[in-house]
Amino acid sequence: MSALAQRWHAASLTLRSAMLFALVATLVVSMVGGYLYNAMRQEMLHRSDLQVTGRIEYYRNMLSRQFPLDRLIANTGLFENMLGNEQDILIFQLQGQAPLINVNPSSIPPPLITPTPVDKPQLPSAVKAGETAQGIPLRGVSALVKLEDGGILQITVVHVMVNEQKMLARYLWRVIAAVIAAFITIALLGYWVMQRALQPLRRMATEAAAIAPHTLTTRLSEQGAPQELQRLIISFNAMLDRINEGYQRLTQFSADLAHEIRTPVGALMGQCQVALYQPRSVEEYETLLSSNMEELERISRTIENILFLARATHAQSALHYRSVDLATEFQRVTDYFEGLAEERNLSLVYEGQGQLQVDAMLFQRALSNLVANAVRYANEGSQITLRTSRVQDKQLIQVINQGPPVTQAQLEKLFDRFYRAETSRSSHGSGLGLSIVRAIMTLHAGEVLAQCHAQPPDAEIIFSLFFPLPAPEHIA
Ligand SMILES: Nc1ncnc2c1ncn2[C@@H]1O[C@H](COP(=O)(O)OP(=O)(O)OP(=O)(O)O)[C@@H](O)[C@H]1O
Ligand SMILES: [Mg+2]
């Protein structure tokens, strides 16, 4: 059964719809045919009943008045003719005697009928139904009539519905033929109609099939499409937009990546080639190796960061929220960067406190990326401030440093992958630190903001992290 259902579901929509149309049409035609057949049958029974009661009334009238019984008996043939149907039955019988007239060509035993009394009119409702041995329906009535001489005569009239039954059988066959014809016609017409109706769908499939990576900007045309398909086309086109955007980003990303790796690899190769050009002292090799090691570490960090960013988009569910104490975190990060800060004569201070529900590892990473930038890009001898406060339903964390002014145009690009503002100092970085900060904030349903307040001749550069309170995981 399930295999059959599977095959049905796998059949073409056109075929399925055509079959369903045809079945519905068949059902309707069958119902109408059945109704008409029944109405016709009822009508025939009614007419048969009128016929038999009419005959009884006729004989009753005739005999109760001037027509003597012996004349009637002498003319039996006349009655036989009057009956019209070869198989109809007519019995005249004086009460308690053998029948005087018994017209019954097929010798069908008449049904047992209680006769209508002399003084009662003959009503069609008194007709008695019966059946011959062959199953042909009978309609019979019997009535008493008082003759001129005072004798009581019983008249029985039975109509055998042979012709009616034949007609009904023929009619039934016609109904069946009509049902079959309706099924075939509607199935064929339905198939044709559905084929035409589904043409836009096929056109859409053809258009969609033509879309390849290099034609991702192609869109399915909404023009002339039926309403039902419009929404599908809109969704499909929107999906193409998203895919195209992702594809463009990926293309850009891999190009950037290749560029990013190519330069240091080229430099490494150059250095090695120069070193191999002639024999060198052990010290020279050591210097070369340690310089290469530094470069390789940088490449490895870049690769690791790129991988992190690639994974971060799907990592929402992998976050391990736990409570962190912000003062402790500030302490930890300032301790970590103390050495580097001292090299540039910078002072690191922090203020404010609070608790935050975050993925601790990612939070530390975001914070240290900001502090690393501050330590790297701040003016020598200036102060770096870490600050936290509660702003409405958010916990705000800021890293502030003094440095050369950053333009609005640059601020907008800082969080892009591989972006580095064109200053001589920034050539050390890979331009991924802030992209990672933004990815981490997105994972926490938070936001990151970069501002630059001019304080001539320098500027105050502020990076703000906004964490929602309570953390998204704890809202539900
Ligand atoms: N505190 C800051 N002050 C001034 N400029 C900054 C500051 N932080 C970031 N920038 C600018 O933004 C650019 C991008 O920063 P980002 O952290 O993304 O990359 P990076 O520091 O160059 O490299 P990475 O962090 O990957 O080692 C930097 O190159 C720098 O020009
Ligand atoms: Mg950085």
Each residue of 13-66: pLDDT tens digit?
888 888 999 999 999 999 999 999 999 999 999 999 999 999 888 888 888 776
Helix ranges (H only) for 400-432 are 408-413
- The SS3 call for residue 349 is strand
Portion of the chain with pLDDT greater than 90, in percent: 50
222-281 tens-digit pLDDT: 888 888 888 999 999 999 998 888 888 778 777 777 877 888 898 899 999 999 999 999
- The SS3 call for residue 290 is helix
Q: How far is CA 6 from CA 2, 15, 155, 247, in A?
A: 6, 14, 68, 37
Q: What mean pLDDT, rounded, does the chain reach?
A: 87
Same domain, 322 and 267: no
Mean pLDDT along residues 412-438: 79
Asked if the model's pLDDT at residue 1 lies above 70, the reply is no
Contact call for residues 260 and 418 (beta carbons, < 8 A): yes
Would you say residue 203 lies in a domain?
A: no
Same domain, 31 and 102: yes
What's the CA-to-centroid distance between 406 and ligand 2, angstroms? 15
Mark which of 255, 288, 312 sits at the end of a domain.
Answer: 312
Number of domains in the chain: 3
Q: Which ligand is nearest to the CA of 427?
A: 1
Amino acid 77: pLDDT = 65
Spatial separation of the C-alpha atoms in residues 113 and 282, rounded to whole Å: 137
Ligand 1 atom nearest the C-alpha of 374 is 1
The range of the structural domain enclosing residue 352 comes to: 316-475
Would you say residue 198 lies in a domain?
A: no
Amino acid 397: pLDDT = 97
- % helix / strand / coil in the chain, to the nearest 5? 60, 20, 25
Q: Which ligand is nearest to the CA of 437?
A: 1
Ligand 1 atom nearest the C-alpha of 401 is 1
Strand order in the sheet with 383-391: 347-351, 383-391, 394-403, 458-468, 447-455
Helix ranges (H only) for 278-390 are 282-312, 326-343, 360-377
Residue 388's H or E segment, with its range, is strand 383-391
Asked if the model's pLDDT at residue 175 lies above 50, the reply is yes
Amino acid 454: pLDDT = 87
Residue 30's H or E segment, with its range, is helix 13-64
Same domain, 405 and 346: yes
Q: Look at the alpha carbons of 306, 307, 310, 314 in this order and tell me if their dihedral is positive or negative.
A: negative
Would you say residue 213 lies in a domain?
A: no
Same domain, 12 and 82: yes
> Residue 431, by phi and psi: left (phi above 0), alpha (psi -120 to 50) or beta?
left
- Ligand 1 pocket check for 346: Cβ under 6 Å: no
Query: Which string of DSSP letters, residue by residue, matches 229-275?
Result: HHHHHHHHHHHHHHHHHHHHHHHHHHHHHHHHHHHHHHHHHHHHHHH
Q: What is the CATH number of the domain that holds 246?
A: 1.10.287
Q: What is the CATH number of the domain that holds 108?
A: 3.30.450
- The SS3 call for residue 329 is helix
Would you say residue 341 lies in a domain?
A: yes
Spatial separation of the C-alpha atoms in residues 26 and 10, rounded to whole Å: 24
Amino acid 316: pLDDT = 65
Asked if the model's pLDDT at residue 327 lies above 80, the reply is yes
- Ligand 1 pocket check for 417: Cβ under 6 Å: no
Mean pLDDT along residues 204-228: 88
Asked if the model's pLDDT at residue 180 lies above 90, the reply is yes
- Ligand 1 pocket check for 102: Cβ under 6 Å: no
Cβ neighbours of residue 2 closer than 8 Å, sequence gap 6 or more: none
- Ligand 1 pocket check for 461: Cβ under 6 Å: yes
- Ligand 1 pocket check for 432: Cβ under 6 Å: yes
- Ligand 1 pocket check for 302: Cβ under 6 Å: no
User: Could you tell me the pLDDT band of residue 82, with boundaries at 50, 70 and 90?
Assistant: low
First to last CA, the chain: 45
Would you say residue 184 lies in a domain?
A: no
Asked if the model's pLDDT at residue 342 lies above 90, the reply is yes
143-174 tens-digit pLDDT: 998 887 788 889 999 999 989 999 999 999 99
Same domain, 24 and 61: yes
Portion of the chain with pLDDT greater than 70, in percent: 94
DSSP state of 451: E
Would you say residue 220 lies in a domain?
A: no
Q: Which ligand is nearest to the CA of 431?
A: 1
Contact call for residues 415 and 434 (beta carbons, < 8 A): yes
For tokens 């900007």, name the residue. Answer: 217
**CA geometry: angle at 430 spanning 427 and 431, to 5°?**
95
What's the CA-to-centroid distance between 372 and ligand 2, angstroms? 6
Same domain, 235 and 325: no
Asked if the model's pLDDT at residue 286 lies above 60, the reply is yes
What's the CA-to-centroid distance between 18 and ligand 2, angstroms? 66
Q: Which two tokens stand for residue 243?
A: 């895919």
Choice between 373 and 111, residue whose per-residue pLDDT is larger = 373
Phi, psi of 211 (to 5 degrees): -85, 125
User: Could you tell me the pLDDT band of residue 193, with boundaries at 50, 70 and 90?
Assistant: very high
Same domain, 289 and 347: no
Mean pLDDT along residues 308-331: 82
Amino acid 476: pLDDT = 44
Name the residue of 426, 427, 455 whose CB sits within 8 Å of the most ligand 1 atoms, as the mutation to test its pocket.
Answer: 426
Would you say residue 447 lies in a domain?
A: yes
What angle, rounded to 10 degrees, do the helices at 326-343 and 360-377 form?
30
User: Could you tell me the pLDDT band of residue 344, with boundaries at 50, 70 and 90?
Assistant: very high
Instruction: Of 90, 94, 93, 72, give the one whose Cα is nearest residue 80.
Output: 90
Amino acid 427: pLDDT = 58
